Amino acid sequence: MSKPRCGVPDLPNKVQYRNKRQLSPLPFTHLGTKWNSNRVTWKINSFTRQLSEQEQRSAFYRAFKLWSDVTPLTIQQVSGGKADMEISFERYDHGDNSPFDGKATGNTLAHAFQPGTSDISGDTHFDDDEVWTVNSDQGTDLYYAAAHEFGHALGLGHSNREESLMYPLYRDASNLKLSMDDISGIQQLYGKLPTSTFQEHHEND
């Protein structure tokens, strides 16, 4: 039985779309673009009904924090207007020419666009037909999937290092952390961390 894989091409190229699980022949790779500012914004456009909104916000905060903890990036949630990275749960054909396959096949969990200037650059979509969970041995852990996809949304491609978060095959989500490969890749894009700069901005603040 085949395991769910990412639809991202093995090597970085001009294709912007990044999905969640496919073998790469190299250590960390870059997708060819990065955000020009160290302040990057994000917002949630839609939630899944499988988890509470707070559980989903928490998973996304923690996923972004993995990356901001090792870089000078300030990754801040906003509640209105256009954000650099926008998050939504979608089903099948959802208007971006990369339809999801649904839970009947379950091979594509999520996908994200690399940084850029188009309306969809940096956005992450999760397949709402998958079974999304947090802190469970059932379904797909949203924190893990988000952390991987946000790596793509920040400009990282896949790694062939099995210990890497950017390794394209889904693995156990317990004790999730960045490997040295992940850290080297993101720091080549944004530099090393002088101090922690992650800001939690709640929509109801």
Q: What confidence tens digit (pLDDT) does each residue in 21-65 have? A: 433 334 567 777 999 999 999 999 999 999 999 999 999 999 999
Both tokens of residue 48?
């899944």
Q: Does 205 or 96 have the greater pLDDT score? A: 96
Is residue 10 included in any domain, yes or no?
no
Is residue 201 included in any domain, yes or no?
no
- CATH code of the domain covering residue 135: 3.40.390.10
Residues contributing to the annotated binding site for Zn(2+) = 6, 94, 96, 111, 125, 148, 152, 158, 166
DSSP 195: S
User: What is the model's pTM?
Assistant: 0.82
The structural domain count of the chain equals 1
Task: Assign 200 a pLDDT band (cuts: 50, 70, 90).
Answer: low
Is residue 7 included in any domain, yes or no?
no
pLDDT in tens, 101-136: 777 555 778 889 999 998 889 999 998 888 899 998
What is the extent of the structural domain holding 182? 17-190
Residues contributing to the annotated binding site for Ca(2+) = 84, 101-102, 123, 127-128, 130
Given a contact cutoff of 8 angstroms between Cβ atoms, the answer to whether 189 and 152 are in contact is no
Cα–Cα distances (Å) from 117 to 86, 90, 120, 166, in that order, read: 13, 22, 8, 23
pLDDT in tens, 62-79: 999 999 999 999 999 998
Q: What is the DSSP string of 71-120?
A: SS-EEEE-SSS--SEEEEEE-SS-SSS-----TTT----EEEEPSSSSTT
Residues contributing to the annotated binding site = 6, 84, 94, 96, 101-102, 111, 123, 125, 127-128, 130, 148, 152, 158, 166
Given a contact cutoff of 8 angstroms between Cβ atoms, the answer to whether 18 and 114 are in contact is yes
Task: Assign 195 a pLDDT band (cuts: 50, 70, 90).
Answer: low
Is residue 9 included in any domain, yes or no?
no
Termini Cα distance of the chain: 46
Three-state secondary-structure class, residue 150: helix
Both tokens of residue 136?
């469970």
Is residue 6 included in any domain, yes or no?
no
CB-based burial of residue 174 (10 Å sphere; 0-12 exposed, 13-18 middle, 19+ buried)?
A: exposed
Is residue 202 included in any domain, yes or no?
no
Average pLDDT in the 92-96 region? 71
CA dist., res. 149 & res. 18, Å (int) = 8
Residue 199 pairs in a beta bridge with 76
Positions marked catalytic: 149
Both tokens of residue 25?
């022949």
